[in-house]
Amino acid sequence: MGLTITSTAFAHHGAIPKHYTCDGSDTSPPLAWSGVPANAKSLVLIVDDPDAPDPAAPQRTWVHWLLYNLPVTSTGLTEGITALPAGTLEGSNDWKRTGYGGPCPPIGRHRYFFKLYALDEALPNLNHPGKAALEKAMQGHILMQAELVGLYQHH
């Protein structure tokens, strides 16, 4: 079936519960994945929002969470994870910090992409890279990718 990423908290193209956003406790949602190719050496998770700041006039993609060198034996991340799987390295999100930053859209309903990549190598320590640096390091090494999209808007 190939690589898949899902969450028990929301359906693909469904609403992300408030708990996982800046309107709630900003907790990272539970994620599960399967179908990692046998030849994969590491996984990358990129969570971003292409609708910032306003879906009617998007100007940039806002990065919420970057994790790389996730072990291929991992099967997901628990809700509000604090201890990442052994070997996992973190990138810097667009708040200039590591870790998860939940949806916090200033206007409109935004789409949040949880993108999982299976790579044919483990990446070197990129020292808290931003998304551009991480994607550059991944070039030519992506075996498979999957995505889960959640929606959120302030009420």
What pLDDT digit, counting tens, does each position of 16-26 carry? 999 999 999 99
Structural domain that includes position 100: 4-43+60-152
The residue-averaged pLDDT of 43-60 equals 97
Q: In this structure, is residue 53 part of a structural domain?
A: no
In a domain, 125, yes or no: yes
Which pLDDT score, from 0 to 100, does residue 37 have?
A: 97
Residue 52 lies in a domain: no
**Percent of the residues in the chain that have a pLDDT greater than 70, as a whole number:** 99
Q: Give me the CATH number covering residue 12.
A: 3.90.280.10
**CA distance linking residue 77 with residue 114, whole number of Å:** 12
Number of domains in the chain: 1
- CA 115, 100, 57: angle at the middle one, nearest 5? 65
Q: Which of 115, 95, 107, 103 is nearest to 151 (CA)?
A: 103
* Mean pLDDT of the residues in the chain: 97
Q: What is the pLDDT of residue 1?
A: 67
